Structure 1
Amino acid sequence: MNPLTSRQKKAIETRAKLLKTSLDLFNKHGYEHVSIEQITKACNVSKGTFYTYFPTKYDVILEKFKELDSFYSTVEKNIDSSLPASEKILTLYQEQMKYLTNVVGKDLLRTVYTAAMTSQVEQDHYLISPQRMIFQIMNSYIEEGIQLGEFRHDIEVNHIQTIIQRCMRANVYDWLIHNEDFDLSAEMAQFTAIVLDGLKIKNK
């Protein structure tokens, strides 16, 4: 692989600076109260430079979702394929919660979730897009669980996925509004296990 040119290195540095500065400003002032002009002024670059890397302000937020989805792909490869579907789902969520707690953190996640609810986002929201890696992985586990007789057959895959994903978002929301005594991983495991139990086929 050829080494990066000084121009390529500069481009990477500029993009990273725009990303970090934008997120810092969103966290400090609120997503809807920060303009692209404020971001570019803080980075000492032109608006044209911002648009070179991010088509819209919201694309900065999308970067964090895409980082999460890349993480999910890595986790999936390390999950024991012999586990029941419900255990795979719980394992995926456990790793997700550890990542959110230890890598993403509350401040950044609050910014991401707040931006997701702003009226300035006019496009279909990536947070709930079926194209996201987390949904694709979850669908494969649910389909496997149905085929192997672990999960009920009377509920469609997408409906089961919606139920499970709402468990995740509810727990994350609670974590964001509680003090530090709220153990996200433990709460998620307990809550999701109860919901998954209700989706399983019961032995008569």
Structure 2
Amino acid sequence: MNSLTSRQLKALETREKLLKTSLDLFNKHGFEHVSVEQITKACNVSKGTFYTHFPSKYDVILEKFKELDSFYSTVEKNIDRTLPASEKILLLYQEQMKYLTNVVGKDLLRTVYTAAMTNQVEQDHYLVNPQRMIFQIMNTYIEEGIRLGEFRQDLEVSQFQAIIQRCMRANVYDWLIHNENFDLAAEMAQFTSIVLDGLKVENK
């Protein structure tokens, strides 16, 4: 394996500095109140340097947030393939909520959700991007549940997916606005179980 050159190492250091400084500023002042110019001044670099590493300030957040995708892949591999599709969905969400609580944390998620609600982010932003790993895994479980007769046949996979996504976003939002007594994993499990019960064949 080739070692990185001093220039490459310097570029990585600059990228990490931009990432950390941006997140700190977003958390302190709010995403919509922080400009690229403020970030670059705090890091003592040019705007051109910023855009070399990140297409936009929202991409700074996503760079950190996308670490979740590799986590989802690991979780999916450890889920018992013989379980019903609804149980697989609940297990995936349970692990996701634990990760958000213990690793990602409220500060970063507040920034992501706030940024997603501003006009500075494209409509098809990362939170709802169908190419996200978690949604691809969910689609597999939904298709399996429909094929095996566990889930209703009168909804398209995309409709089913939209309902399940809203379970996740609604619970995360509630967690962000409540105090520390809100158990994200437990609330997600209860809420999503109720929704999934309504999507099963036997409850038609």
Secondary structure at 2:66 match in 1: helix
Q: Which moved more, 1:115-124 or 1:157-166?
A: 115-124
TM-score for both structures, normalised by structure 2: 0.96
Query: Post-superposition shift, 1:66?
Result: 1.7
Aligned twin of 1:150: 150
The one-letter code sitting in structure 2 at the alignment partner of 1:172 is: V
CA-based RMSD of the aligned residues comes to: 1.4
Alpha-carbon distance in 2 for matches of 1:190, 1:124 = 29
Matches within 5 A, 1:5-44: 5-44=5-44
Alpha-carbon distance in 1 for matches of 2:11, 2:22 = 16
Structure 1 gap ranges (5+): none
Query: Post-superposition shift, 1:68?
Result: 1.7
Q: How many residues matched? A: 204
Residue 60 (str. 1) matches residue 43 (str. 2): no
Contact 1:65 1:127 in 2 (8 A): no
Label 1:200 to 1:10 Cα distance change in 2 as closer, same or farther (>3 A): same
Aligned twin of 2:47: 47
Aligned twin of 2:117: 117
Query: Post-superposition shift, 1:27?
Result: 0.8
Alpha-carbon distance in 1 for matches of 2:138, 2:6 = 42
Aligned twin of 2:101: 101
Identity of aligned residues (%): 87
Alpha-carbon distance in 1 for matches of 2:17, 2:94 = 31
CA-to-aligned-CA distance 1:43-97 (integer Å, 9 cap, x gap) = 1111111011001112112213322222212211121111111111001001100
Contact 1:36 1:57 in 2 (8 A): yes
Secondary structure at 1:4 match in 2: coil
Contact 1:146 1:152 in 2 (8 A): yes
Alpha-carbon distance in 2 for matches of 1:76, 1:92 = 7
Secondary structure at 1:3 match in 2: coil
Give 4+ residue runs of structure 1 displaced > 6 Å after superposition: none
Query: Post-superposition shift, 1:172?
Result: 0.5
TM-score for both structures, normalised by structure 1: 0.96
Alpha-carbon distance in 1 for matches of 2:6, 2:49 = 17
Contact 1:85 1:142 in 2 (8 A): yes
